[in-house]
Structure 1
Amino acid sequence: MSHASPSAELFEHFPARPGQKLKDGQYTVHRKLGSGVYSTTYLVSDPQAECDEFTNRYRAAKILTVEGTRTYHEGQSRELEFLKQIAACDDIDSLPVLEDHFEERGPEGTHLCLVTQLLSTDVSSFRRSAPNKALPAHTAKTILTQILEALAQLHALGIIHTDVKLDNILFNSVKGDNDVEDRLKTETVAVEGEVEIKGETYPVLRSQPIRHDFAWDASPFISEIMQFVLVDLGQAQRAGEQPTVDEFSAYALRAPELILRSDFGPKVDIWAVGCLAFELLVGRWLFAPEEGEDWTLEDDHLAKMMELTGERCSAAMLERASFRSKYFDEQGSLLRLELIPDHSIEAALTAYKIVPDMEIAGAASFIRACLRLDSSDRPSAEVLQIHPWLMGKVGDPPEQS
């Protein structure tokens, strides 16, 4: 198909061609791996790189849009700053490793390029590959444990991710250069059409991530060797500093303090982890708020949070909330919605008949720890790493004598 009048979004992205050279010829573009609102990621190779048995020649180049590059120059996006800080660490746990960065000129402006290790597909598509869209508890625990490792390191560095979601968790499973080259030989570059920008024609490439060989129903033994990386620090913020933007995270994963504009800090990431634990186990979002004739999306979201957790926003929490009067009366009750009693995390996990009975109590305990309404009551990522459910001490059958 041909795109005669491409959208403004296409102009914003860097329109790379297979075989194109970047950074004065150092890198060669091979295919498109994926894209987001503010960036496109390409598979590139560096022929001059020193190689061992692991991938060194092939890397991922995340190229920001013109707008994304502008937000970097204006200090709204601090991804490069945070990636440099991570790269300076002795050991990096489940986080992207910055190997190079530079700027490239495109037809519509300048693009910041971030070169990192090459990763595979995302956990969101992996979850959706299961017939019921849910993953076994042992696989969910592996993913959550590694994401908590990543968050513990980020938070120790004073970095808040703010966009922890399954789309941003990638498999770290590329075996080496030979593996990549075999896939390049067997999978031709997919071109969906072309676009004309300033009189020149560019191909519109389809996303072709490097796929892994893991199945959704992998055994506990196999799931233990899965490795994951928490990517995309484009919205990340510095703890203790004024946020550079007003809106964070996917709506369904947004913590109550983000709605109320109260205590913004690292614990917004912990709330998201609790929501993701449910999504991994059940195959559905934990929160799916809806707007009504007499109430807003935010009203319903706050009501569902209180119903599910059995908690109420404390007077101290509401006192610190800039938007308190938008949602609560003087007594701390919601202005426009009555709470429905008898909801619980256990009931939500049980309702779909997917999570094994022996996992319900432990999973609910983990999720409840993450979903404390007052962020100061939530445990740190470091503490959550040794939660009994993740450590296999809750829900496991007794050992056979």
Structure 2
Amino acid sequence: MTITHYEPTTLGATLNGGRYAVLRKLGEGITAVTWLVHDLSMPENRLKYFAAKIFSVEATAEHNGPARERNILQAILDSRDSEQGPIKEGQYYIPHLYDGFNEGPHLCLIMSLYSTSVAALRRSGPNKCLPVYMVRSIIHMTLHALGLLHDLKIVHTDVKADNILFTNARFSAVQELKDYLEQYPSQFDSQPQPLPHDFAYNSSAFQAELITVALLDYSHAQSSEGVIFGMTCCSPALRPPEVLLSSGFGPAVDIWAVGCLTFELLVGQCLFHPEDGGDSYTLEDDLLAQMQDLTGQQFSADVLARAKNRAKYFDAQGDLLRRRIPKPTPLSIEQMIRNHNIAGLAEEDIKESAEFIQACLQLDDRRRFTAKELLEYSFADKAWLCE
């Protein structure tokens, strides 16, 4: 039997002419469902379990989306194959594309197998945050992935905890995964059955040294050269000022998201909480005001000169049109972290975290630090240090 609908509903369904047997649902999103598949063509001693991301008919038909994800993953793979010498570290934190084909009206991508997301782990804790030693490692690996992407002129545009997944290290051996699947049979109802990993929100620093994650979901990725497909990239709470102002686009978009993500993982809350003031001010007005207040920066003349939306948010003197936005008492990033009284977060951790986040949140995207430069900051450089 082959798959002809959005998702298979019976055991034994296959893909690509019978090559891949569908075993269980791993996850689902708005445009795609991800399945665990068994490559029946592989010999016993070879890797044969993969993730199959099957896009809906509507998503497959879109010109910019799934097809772009396939092309980007292929470009990453080609760059790896063309390079001589050791593999760049960032390759370990990016999914490997093994196969891609159309299954009827659905695009299907066969990729590396992963567990659940960093977002799911964060939400599992009572305070919705993770220990600093865990956050350092996650951000360190994410920066390496971004460094590789940016070298290839690729902007992810959707860096968030939901798109950072734990690798399948627990079942790296074929027999281990086979035994697990026999012990926990597939349930073909509507609920996904993601593969577990060995970590908890309160895993010790020594346990956390074994964590590896990867940055996934390239359906919204863009080339930093050429035509930009839409300007609503990034989740609203992670959206950088250059997107709101339409003042430029490039790898710095991802760096802003890393700063917001670091705060979210450490504190358990979003860094920015913009509100819509109805007739008084818009959500975007409030977000730009919060950006200035939190960073202690003003939008430079250069940024405003490049901003196509300048008149929408600024007066003739370059001052933000706050209208009737309540002006809070400005707090620094460092003070905001300190005010949350996070257990186990030492004074040194607070200062280093705040310095790192501030470096990510330069209002001028041209002055924002690169992924490689951020790896040299003490916050990221201390990844995997248990003391």
- Give the alignment partner of residue 326 of structure 1, picking from 300, 312, 316: 312
Match for residue 361 of structure 2?
371
Q: Which deviations, in whole Å up to 9, do the C-alpha atoms of 1:179-211 show, x marking residues without a partner?
A: 22222223233344xxxxxxxxxxxx3111101
TM-score (norm 2): 0.90
Match for residue 253 of structure 2?
268
Match for residue 225 of structure 1?
210
Matched, 1:37 2:36: no
Match for residue 308 of structure 1?
294
- Give the alignment partner of residue 381 of structure 1, picking from 366, 371, 375: 371
> Could you say if the C-alpha distance between residues 155 and 298 of structure 1 is closer, same or farther in structure 2, counting changes exceeding 3 Å?
same
Letter of the structure 1 residue corresponding to residue 123 of structure 2: R
Q: Which deviations, in whole Å up to 9, do the C-alpha atoms of 1:232-291 show, x marking residues without a partner?
A: 000000012221223211111111111111111110000000001001100111112111
The 2-side partners of 1:32 and 1:246 are apart by 32
Q: Which deviations, in whole Å up to 9, do the C-alpha atoms of 1:274-314 show, x marking residues without a partner?
A: 00100110011111211113111101111111111000111
Match for residue 299 of structure 1?
285
Letter of the structure 1 residue corresponding to residue 305 of structure 2: E
Q: SS in structure 2 opposite 1:134?
A: coil
Q: Is the 8 A contact 2:156 2:221 kept in 1?
A: yes
Task: Tell me the CA shift for residue 93 of structure 1.
Answer: 3.0
Q: Is the 8 A contact 1:93 1:153 kept in 2?
A: no
Matched, 1:250 2:245: no
Q: SS in structure 2 opposite 1:31?
A: strand
Deviates more, 1:249-258 or 1:182-191: 182-191
> Could you say if the C-alpha distance between residues 377 and 338 of structure 1 is closer, same or farther in structure 2, counting changes exceeding 3 Å?
farther
Q: SS in structure 2 opposite 1:389?
A: helix
- Displaced runs of 4+ in structure 1, greater than 4 A? 74-77
Match for residue 97 of structure 1?
96
Match for residue 340 of structure 2?
352
**Root-mean-square deviation over aligned CA pairs:** 2.1
Matched, 1:361 2:351: yes
Match for residue 185 of structure 2?
188
Q: Is the 8 A contact 2:60 2:66 kept in 1?
A: no
Q: What are the equivalent positions in structure 2 for 1:171-186 lying under 5 Å apart?
A: 171-172=166-167, 173=169, 174-186=171-183
Task: Tell me the CA shift for residue 316 of structure 1.
Answer: 1.0
The 2-side partners of 1:243 and 1:15 are apart by 35
Task: Tell me the CA shift for residue 360 of structure 1.
Answer: 0.6
Q: SS in structure 1 opposite 2:262?
A: helix
The 2-side partners of 1:231 and 1:244 are apart by 19
> Could you say if the C-alpha distance between residues 128 and 318 of structure 1 is closer, same or farther in structure 2, counting changes exceeding 3 Å?
same
> Could you say if the C-alpha distance between residues 103 and 365 of structure 1 is closer, same or farther in structure 2, counting changes exceeding 3 Å?
same
Q: Is the 8 A contact 2:231 2:243 kept in 1?
A: no
The 2-side partners of 1:316 and 1:357 are apart by 36
- Give the alignment partner of residue 60 of structure 2, picking from 64, 69, 93: 69
Match for residue 202 of structure 1?
none
Unaligned runs of 5+ in 1: 1-10, 193-204
TM-score (norm 1): 0.87
Q: Is the 8 A contact 2:6 2:57 kept in 1?
A: yes
Letter of the structure 2 residue corresponding to residue 19 of structure 1: G
Match for residue 68 of structure 2?
78
Q: SS in structure 1 opposite 2:93?
A: coil
Query: Going by fraction, where is helix more abundant, 1 or 2?
Result: 2
Task: Tell me the CA shift for residue 50 of structure 1.
Answer: 4.0
The 2-side partners of 1:70 and 1:14 are apart by 16
Unaligned runs of 5+ in 2: 82-86
Task: Tell me the CA shift for residue 76 of structure 1.
Answer: 8.1
Letter of the structure 1 residue corresponding to residue 48 of structure 2: R
Q: What are the equivalent positions in structure 2 for 1:42-53 lying under 5 Å apart?
A: 42-50=35-43, 52=45
Q: Is the 8 A contact 1:95 1:229 kept in 2?
A: yes
Q: SS in structure 1 opposite 2:98?
A: strand
Matched, 1:153 2:148: yes
Q: SS in structure 1 opposite 2:159?
A: coil
The 2-side partners of 1:359 and 1:80 are apart by 39
Deviates more, 1:74-83 or 1:128-137: 74-83
> Could you say if the C-alpha distance between residues 232 and 75 of structure 1 is closer, same or farther in structure 2, counting changes exceeding 3 Å?
closer
- Give the alignment partner of residue 343 of structure 1, picking from 331, 335, 351: 331
The 1-side partners of 2:201 and 2:174 are apart by 25
Match for residue 127 of structure 1?
122
> Could you say if the C-alpha distance between residues 396 and 256 of structure 1 is closer, same or farther in structure 2, counting changes exceeding 3 Å?
farther
Q: SS in structure 1 opposite 2:281?
A: coil
Q: Is the 8 A contact 2:10 2:188 kept in 1?
A: no
Task: Tell me the CA shift for residue 224 of structure 1.
Answer: 1.8
The 2-side partners of 1:119 and 1:66 are apart by 24
Match for residue 290 of structure 1?
275
Q: Which deviations, in whole Å up to 9, do the C-alpha atoms of 1:348-375 show, x marking residues without a partner?
A: 1011111333311000000000000011
Letter of the structure 2 residue corresponding to residue 38 of structure 1: T
> Could you say if the C-alpha distance between residues 363 and 270 of structure 1 is closer, same or farther in structure 2, counting changes exceeding 3 Å?
same
The 2-side partners of 1:50 and 1:271 are apart by 45
